[in-house]
């Protein structure tokens, strides 16, 4: 057999370093809340409306849960004292870096250790490919970007650290020489998405990405942007075909055709910060001489963090190369994508290795987080849309996107793809051509953030759609309805959605809402000192990355107590409560213990993986899957709105196995029903009510009695499962108790009574086809918003008088958390539309001078706290799977506000944010 999961990580990237990953709770006897635990079902039940969430008590009573809460003396077995580290960063990216003036940090402020680029050469580190570039700018080179680290300073005593931290804030310690201008780096990625539909909806497309694959032009290093022409020198054949159709679409839009309304508009969105509550923080301890490296981190991607750190030291020289890395993971104080694949963790590990024997804490303050944290991409977009004047149907759409990726590639190419494939929103458009490129700049690195390119693209689109409706003198909602993609229609990549499409229902809700119905009446209340306007927007957002792994483990005690373990991360998203509720649907009651980020709980599956699940071909997958322990991906970051859909899936399937092969046979025994009785196969008809298993005409059975019987008779009482999603779930058959059990999982282990777990090798598996990698998205959720604004003529001050958002998310596992996400999304949308902005270069956050005194976020006074109505549509069927919704609820807010501002002022803004000063300028 192949290597185990831990052995595989070691073999893949650690260069002889063994790696283990665990939840922070694994430290026995820890004097803090060790995991998410329910204090008794009688007192606390998240499944009961209004009862709260499983981590609520710990959070509101101040338990130590987050990475920033901990010091070394909180962790069993660690030394008592904590040292502290600071990253010194370049505030110039156009001049040669010549060194640091650390002589000013003399006396009590002198650092114990200074780590620079030359030290990394001496240690023998290797940067993971994802973070390609210098971890520290070497002396004699121009920094790659503003905020690039030049040194890591470590202080043994807190007082020295604290005083040095304040002294370093003036930015003059880093010195520069000759002016060189910014470093020139090739594009991070360029793609073209072109579709030409067939003559009717039931006919194949003439051309589409799902047929032909995703294509890119030849890279031209001397050009600032890609050369998109089909006639460019050395153009790849697959790209030339897309370019040919794409240029035909653009020519049709440029033609002088009186029957076609053509709008050609530009829109620009800004860079913003995720502004999560807890700045990035980590704690590490290396005992030196090739020993253990202990880490405490708060990230969205635990597996990636451990793998990247192992890679960093995989070829390090003694004594800097640890023999073993143990990464523990705490809760995350907000993420919004900004803690997914964060380079911050590499510096946490370096701090410990460079100061052996001493636990070291690296923690950003808000200045440092602004200077270094991942930002949202600023995007410049040009869109052309052609609409048949007679029918009001959109005939063609073309767009060009340029994304500013900042200093490191991060997920820029992926964001460009998602923005490109989402550029036509909810609409059915037969001819589409979108060209998108992510470029390097000297700005702070941009990467994953809530909305992930769709926010920018659909803001531009929904503002354009509103203008088109106005030009056609059409009702804005009716125009959207007329052009909405139907349930089985094809997206711009050529595939249909495989989930419900509820756009018509959402548009109907928006149309019937009093805010929209009364818009003319309230507009008449505009006066000499106040303007009133109403705006609408309707959007869609994918959930999932197209290559998502899920791990779940569920255990049932003889007394009926339930424990759940999951690899996904709690970052304010309520994943623990969602897990508890999803498992309860199979086992009847809420769990007694829910542990998240438990990446240490699944070794019994012995999973192995290889290749890139997003790019591998079918032949490679078919060969690899012959190993019954192989899966395309083991675990995924908690991102892409996958908490409910992916994060809880495997635990739900594990619970289903326990019910089918543990509780159901126990119930048959207690009911005295023999296996030959037809009722013995009617497990799907059984229901849970108040913790009791119900069947018509039979005595209700309480979970403790069922659990006790299952344990006594050696039935299944625990299960571990893995699943993989590539726009569809993996599905396999497992030999269980004389039958072939089929489920949407690809790996399974079971435990009978209190015995050891036994792996059940699958006898067949069907992974989603690799052609699904050509799908832009197949999972989607919809959301619409209507807002009414009031604007003071004299000052430009805008007040949101009333707002209504309506969305769908399949089955809501925790409705209260879903509503909370929607309210937070509304607030973020308001900040994005009206307040938040970061200048891109020297005047921006990379200079180290930004904090909340300069950066404006939405506060309560900016929001319609008592006049915000949010409606969540009920699932279409009782068994509809949960959908990801955390991003989609933010996306329509900005365009609805921009459209309301136009309705009030008559001016169309085509750049964000629309501040009070800009409003005052157009009203003057």
Cα 78 to Cα 74: distance, rounded to the nearest angstrom? 8
Share of the chain above pLDDT 70, in %: 94
Question: What pLDDT, on the 0 to 100 scale, is given for residue 58?
Answer: 76
List Cα–Cα distances, 251 to 384, 386, 465, in angstroms: 11, 11, 21
Residue 6 has pLDDT above 70, yes or no: no
For 99, left (φ over 0), alpha (ψ -120 to 50), or beta? left
For position 33, what pLDDT does the model report? 28
Give the rounded percent of residues in the chain with a pLDDT score beyond 90: 86
**Helix H or strand E encompassing 923:** helix 916-923
pLDDT tens per residue, range 699-742:
999 999 999 999 999 999 999 999 999 999 999 999 999 999 99
Taking alpha carbons only, the member of 712, 706, 601 closest to residue 659 is: 706
At residue 631, the pLDDT reads 98
- From CA 616, how far away is CA 846, in angstroms rounded? 37
Structure tokens at 605: 């599956």
Query: If phi over 0 gives left and psi between -120 and 50 gives alpha, with beta otherwise, what is residue 16?
Result: left
| Average pLDDT across the chain, whole number | 92
pLDDT of 298 above 70: yes
pLDDT of 596: 86
Q: How many CB atoms lie within 10 A of CB 655?
A: 29
Query: From residue 458, how far is each of 282, 452, 463 by CA, in Å?
Result: 36, 11, 8
Tokens representing residue 809 in the block:
């998310």
- 672-710: per-residue pLDDT in tens? 999 999 999 999 999 999 999 999 999 999 999 999 999
Q: Rounded mean pLDDT of 628-645? A: 94
- Looking at the predicted structure, is the pLDDT value of residue 392 above 90? yes
In the structure encoding, which two tokens stand for residue 180, read together?
């060189």
Model confidence at 36: pLDDT above 50: no
Residue-level pLDDT at 657:
98
* Nearest Cα to Cα of residue 594 among 579, 616, 613: 579
Nearest-angstrom CA–CA distance, 177 and 902? 49
Altogether, the residues listed in the chain come to a count of: 924
Token digits of residue 663:
């509780």
What are residue 908's phi and psi, to 5 degrees? Answer: -100, 115
Residue 250 has pLDDT above 90, yes or no: yes
Average pLDDT over residues 519-541: 96
880-912 confidence digits (pLDDT tens): 999 999 999 999 999 999 999 999 999 999 999
Contact 772, 491 (CB under 8 A): no
Quick: pLDDT tens for 435-458.
Answer: 999 999 999 999 999 999 999 999
Integer CA distances (angstroms), 386 to 121, 177, 490, 685, in order: 57, 53, 19, 53
> In the prediction, which pLDDT does 789 show?
98
pLDDT band at 222 (very low <50, low <70, confident <90, very high): low
The string of pLDDT tens digits covering residues 562-573 is 999 999 998 888
pLDDT digits (tens, 9 = 90+) for 68-101: 999 999 999 999 999 999 999 999 999 999 999 9
Cis peptide before 319 (omega within 30 of 0): yes
Asked if pLDDT for residue 32 goes beyond 70, the answer is no
CA-based nearest residue to 655, from 554, 780, 571, 757: 554
Q: Nearest 5°: CA angle at 465, between 460 and 467?
A: 100
pLDDT band at 52 (very low <50, low <70, confident <90, very high): low
- Alpha carbon distances (Å) from 439 to 184, 356, 401, 404, 446: 10, 39, 11, 5, 10
pTM across the whole model: 0.94
pLDDT at 224: 78
Helix (H, G, I), strand (E, B) or coil at 35: coil
Per-residue pLDDT at 406 exceeds 50 = yes
State pLDDT tens for residues 172-215: 999 999 999 999 999 999 999 999 999 999 999 999 999 998 99
Chain segment 97-135, per-residue pLDDT in tens: 999 999 999 899 999 999 999 999 999 999 999 999 999
Alpha helices in 397-475 (DSSP H): 412-421, 454-471
């Amino acid at each position: 057999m192949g290597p185990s999961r831990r052995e595989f990580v070691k073999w893949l990237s650690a260069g002889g370093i063994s790696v283990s990953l665990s939840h922070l709770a694994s430290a026995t006897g820890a004097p803090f809340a060790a995991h998410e635990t329910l204090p008794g079902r009688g007192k606390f039940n998240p499944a009961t409306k209004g009862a709260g969430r499983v981590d609520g008590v710990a959070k509101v009573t101040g338990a130590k849960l987050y990475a920033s809460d901990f010091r070394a003396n909180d962790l069993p077995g660690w030394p008592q004292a904590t040292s502290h580290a600071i990253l010194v960063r370049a505030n110039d990216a156009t001049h040669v870096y010549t060194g640091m003036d650390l002589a000013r940090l003399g006396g009590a402020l002198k650092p114990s250790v200074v780590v620079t680029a030359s030290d990394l050469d001496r240690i023998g580190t290797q940067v993971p490919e994802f973070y390609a570039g210098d971890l520290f700018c070497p002396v004699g080179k121009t920094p790659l970007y503003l905020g690039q680290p030049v040194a890591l300073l470590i202080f043994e005593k807190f007082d020295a650290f604290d005083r040095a931290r304040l002294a370093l804030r003036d930015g003059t310690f880093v010195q520069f020489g000759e002016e060189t201008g910014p470093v020139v780096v090739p594009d991070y990625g360029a793609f073209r998405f072109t579709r030409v539909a067939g003559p009717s909806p039931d006919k194949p497309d003439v051309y589409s990405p799902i047929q032909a694959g995703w294509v890119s032009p030849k890279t031209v290093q001397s050009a600032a942007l890609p050369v998109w022409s089909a006639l460019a020198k050395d153009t790849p054949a697959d790209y030339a075909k897309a370019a040919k159709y794409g240029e035909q679409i653009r020519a049709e839009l440029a033609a002088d055709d009186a029957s076609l309304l053509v709008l050609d508009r530009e829109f620009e969105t800004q860079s913003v910060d995720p502004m999560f509550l807890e700045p990035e923080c980590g704690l590490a301890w290396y005992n030196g001489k090739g020993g253990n490296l202990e880490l405490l981190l708060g990230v969205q991607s635990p597996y990636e963090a451990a793998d990247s750190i192992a890679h960093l030291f995989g070829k390090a020289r003694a004594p800097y190369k640890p023999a073993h890395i143990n990464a523990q993971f705490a809760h995350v104080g907000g993420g919004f994508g900004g803690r997914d694949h964060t380079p911050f963790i590499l510096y946490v590990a370096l701090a410990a290795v460079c100061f052996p024997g001493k636990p070291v804490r690296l923690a950003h303050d808000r200045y440092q987080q602004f200077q270094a944290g991942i930002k949202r991409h600023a995007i410049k977009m040009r869109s052309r849309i052609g609409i048949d004047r007679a029918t009001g149907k959109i005939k063609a759409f073309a767009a060009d996107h340029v994304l500013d990726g900042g200093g490191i590639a991060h997920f820029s190419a992926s964001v460009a793809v998602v923005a490109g494939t989402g550029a036509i929103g909810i609409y059915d458009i037969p001819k589409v051509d979108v060209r998108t490129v992510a470029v390097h700049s000297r700005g702070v690195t941009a990467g994953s953030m809530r909305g992930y390119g769709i926010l920018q693209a659909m803001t531009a689109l929904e503002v354009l759609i509103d203008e088109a409706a106005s030009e056609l003198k059409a009702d804005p909602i009716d125009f959207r309805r007329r052009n909405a993609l139907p349930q089985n229609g094809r997206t711009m990549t050529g595939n249909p959605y495989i989930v419900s499409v509820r756009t018509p229902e959402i548009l109907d809700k928006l149309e019937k809402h009093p805010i929209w119905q009364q818009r003319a009446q309230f507009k008449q209340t505009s006066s000499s000192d106040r303007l009133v306007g109403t705006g609408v927007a309707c959007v869609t957002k994918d959930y999932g990355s197209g290559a998502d792994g899920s791990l779940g483990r569920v255990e049932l005690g003889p007394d009926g107590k339930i424990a759940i373990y999951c690899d996904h991360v709690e970052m304010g998203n309520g994943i623990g409560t969602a897990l508890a509720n999803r498992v309860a649907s199979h086992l009847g009651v809420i769990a007694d213990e829910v542990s998240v980020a438990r990446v240490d709980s699944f070794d019994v599956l012995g999973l192995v993986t290889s290749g890139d699940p997003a790019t591998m071909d079918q032949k490679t997958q078919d060969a690899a899957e012959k190993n019954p322990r192989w899966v395309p991906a083991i675990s995924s970051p908690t991102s892409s709105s996958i908490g409910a859909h992916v994060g809880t899936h495997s635990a739900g399937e594990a619970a289903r196995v326990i019910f089918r092969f543990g509780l159901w046979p126990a119930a048959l025994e207690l009911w005295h029903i023999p296996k030959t009785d037809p009722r013995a196969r009617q497990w799907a008809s059984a229901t849970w009510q108040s913790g009791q298993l119900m069947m018509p005409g039979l005595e209700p059975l309480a979970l403790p009695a069922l659990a006790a019987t299952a344990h006594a008779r050696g039935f299944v009482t625990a299960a571990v499962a893995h699943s993989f999603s590539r726009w569809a779930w993996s599905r396999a058959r497992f030999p269980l108790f004389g039958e072939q059990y089929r489920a949407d999982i690809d790996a399974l282990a079971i435990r009978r009574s209190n015995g050891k777990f036994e792996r059940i090798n699958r006898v067949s598996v069907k992974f989603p086809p690799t052609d699904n990698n050509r799908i832009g998205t197949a999972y989607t959720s919809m959301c619409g918003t209507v807002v009414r604004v009031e604007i003071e003529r004299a000052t430009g001050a805008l007040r949101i008088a009333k707002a209504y958002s309506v969305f769908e998310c399949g089955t809501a596992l925790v409705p209260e958390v879903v509503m909370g996400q929607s309210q937070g999304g509304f607030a973020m949308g308001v900040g994005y539309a009206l307040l938040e902005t970061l200048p891109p270069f020297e005047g921006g956050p990379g200079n180290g001078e930004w904090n909340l005194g300069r950066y404006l976020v939405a506060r309560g006074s900016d929001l319609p706290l008592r006049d915000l109505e949010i409606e969540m549509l009920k699932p279409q069927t009782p068994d509809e799977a949960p959908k990801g919704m955390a991003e989609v609820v933010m996306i329509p807010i900005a365009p609805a506000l921009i459209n309301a501002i136009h309705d009030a002022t008559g001016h169309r803004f085509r750049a964000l944010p629309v501040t009070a000063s800009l409003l005052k300028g157009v009203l003057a």
